[in-house]
């Protein structure tokens, strides 16, 4: 999805092994079009990126993902599929906590959640023509 939208992918440890054969095969034709960056901690990410704004997408947020205004340069942060976003991050940045409404399930899978929120941000930014642009 990052390759299709021109978004870069930042991975903050701990995360899955990027050199896993199944992962490489899943991205088969897309790896050349994807910018992947890895960071050892959220602190390292914050120091490197110095984000003006970011959103933490996690179940149970005070804000619906469609009720916030996205801007160019915003970062969308999603947690591990098993553990979610660490509780201390959610506590520290309560005003940045967004979620996708859902019924009677623990959570949507990560790929679905990323797609839903990313395309809402792109819609708000009027990025309807992605053929030749890179989205920050």
Instruction: Please choose, from the candidates 12, 112, 8, 16, the residue with its C-alpha nearest in 3D space to the C-alpha of residue 59.
Output: 112
Tell me if 105 sits within 8 A of 54, measured CB to CB.
no
In whole angstroms, give the CA distance from residue 12 to residue 66: 25
In the chain, what percentage of residues exceed pLDDT 70? 83
Mean pLDDT of 116-128: 90
- What is 51-128's CATH number? 3.40.1280.10
In whole angstroms, give the CA distance from residue 133 to residue 4: 10
pLDDT, tens digit, 9 for 90 and up, residues 69-88: 999 999 999 988 888 898 99
């Amino acid at each position: 999805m990052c390759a299709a939208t021109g978004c870069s992918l930042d991975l903050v440890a701990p995360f899955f092994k990027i050199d896993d054969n199944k992962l490489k095969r899943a991205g088969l034709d897309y790896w050349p079009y994807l910018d992947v960056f890895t960071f050892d901690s959220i602190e390292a990410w914050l120091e490197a990126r110095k984000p003006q704004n970011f959103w933490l997408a996690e179940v149970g947020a005070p804000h619906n993902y469609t009720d916030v205004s996205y801007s160019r340069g915003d970062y969308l942060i999603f947690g591990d599929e098993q553990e979610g976003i660490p509780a201390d991050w959610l506590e520290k940045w309560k005003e940045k906590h967004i979620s996708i409404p859902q019924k009677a399930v623990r959570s949507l899978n990560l790929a679905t959640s990323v797609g839903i929120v990313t395309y809402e941000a792109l819609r708000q930014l009027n990025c309807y023509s992605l053929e030749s642009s890179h989205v920050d």
